[in-house]
Amino acid sequence: MNIKITGSGSYIPSLKVTNEDFINHSFLNEDGTVFNYTNDVIAQKFTDITGIIERRYAQDNQTASDMATIAAQKAIEDAKIDPETLDYIIFAHNFGDVKKGAIQSDMMPSLASKVKFNLRIKNPKCIAYDMLFGCPGWVESVIQGQAFIKAGMAKKCMIIGAETLSRVVDAHDRDSMIYSDGAGVTIIESTENDGGILSHASASFTYDEINYLYFGKSYNQNLDPDTRYIKMFGRKIYEFALSNVPLAMKECLEKANIEIGQVKKILIHQANEKMDEAIVNRFYKLFKTVTPEGIMPMSIHKLGNSSVATIPTLYDLIMKGELENHSLNKGDIVLFASVGAGMNINAIAYKM
């Protein structure tokens, strides 16, 4: 028995926000002081580091579960399945449904339950629950779903990654330009066909790394200090990711008995272009070889960092032929890899 992705779908919000749209923002230092340089300089440095030119935000009336429902419908159609036959719906997110202008998140009922309701699935044996695992949540949900299938507890699982990060960012923090909104969904099933999930690796580093990503007050000292926003120590995350993610990717290949030269594509969490490039280069250095050209598809330039949605969205774009110069064909070896709040890391080796 093999466990394969049989369908995918994504929802990319229509609202484009370019770097130029931040020119009139009031960006501040952590202590509330003003930067010594202008916003156009900030935007240019930001682009040079992250590769992000624009990002997408959800419409005012949309939530994460709304976007996930649209992507889920596409994945169901792509997999050609009856949604009533789903055994699990696992929804990876970090902040729940956050309405535009709200300061509270809504996770009751779970977002997975909301999607099941929206899809009008009647089957009570279709179990719906949420996964909180930072940005690697979608990858971890795939790992968990395949474990249910291997154990004989399921045949079909829907794995969702969706987030509205634009609603939990501090407008006075220049890091807010990184984050975006979106949803990606895959269906995984047991199959007799060749390929599927070959191996995986996961780890949680919390002893020293627990607060590399955290919730903190606005840099604007005049705002309510009890209203919290997503914050990060970028340099610490960069160093942590560079040290640990390549090792998880290597562990996957070794478990799967796959040679480095067999890897066709690496679908890594779209967090930061420079960081992702450094991770992949370090990964190939572990094998004493150079990084092949075109090995790492990127969507971050136009879509930003939508957390758990980045990898399934990237996969769907490639499968639908919507990412120029990138394709996946039967027999290709793919590595999925992610890093995020926790600090958590994971990777999957997969054969198309």
pLDDT tens digit sequence for 4-48: 999 999 999 999 999 999 998 999 999 999 998 899 999 999 999
CA atoms within 13 A on the CB side of 55: 28
Q: Would you call 239 helix, strand, or coil by DSSP?
A: helix
Q: Would you call 198 helix, strand, or coil by DSSP?
A: strand
Domain definitions of the chain by residue range: 2-193, 198-351
The whole-number pLDDT of residue 192 equals: 87
Q: Is the link from the previous residue into 246 a cis peptide, with omega within 30 of 0?
A: no
Q: What is the mean pLDDT of residues 288-305?
A: 97
Model confidence band, residue 108 (pLDDT cutoffs 50, 70, 90):
very high
Q: What is the 8-class DSSP label of residue 83?
A: G
The whole-number pLDDT of residue 193 equals: 85
CATH number of 2-193: 3.40.47.10
Is the model's pTM score more than 0.95?
Answer: yes
Q: Hey, what are 134's tokens? A: 């930072």
1 pLDDT above the threshold of 90: no
The reply to whether 198-351 shares the fold of 2-193 is yes
- Please give the CATH architecture assigned to the domain spanning 198-351: 3-Layer(aba) Sandwich (3.40)
β-partners of residue 351 are 196, 333
> Could you report the per-residue pLDDT of 70-96, keeping only the tens digit for each?
999 999 999 999 999 999 999 999 999
- Break the chain down into helix, strand, coil percent, rounded to 5: 35, 25, 40
The whole-number pLDDT of residue 37 equals: 87
> Could you report the per-residue pLDDT of 139-157, keeping only the tens digit for each?
999 999 999 999 999 999 9
> Could you report the per-residue pLDDT of 317-331, keeping only the tens digit for each?
999 999 999 999 999
> Could you report the per-residue pLDDT of 228-286, keeping only the tens digit for each?
999 999 999 999 999 999 999 999 999 999 999 999 999 999 999 999 999 999 999 99
Could you tell me how far CA 6 lies from the centroid of its own chain?
19
Q: Would you call 22 helix, strand, or coil by DSSP?
A: helix
> Could you report the per-residue pLDDT of 47-67, keeping only the tens digit for each?
999 999 999 999 999 999 999
CA–CA distance, 1 with 4 (Å, rounded to integer): 10
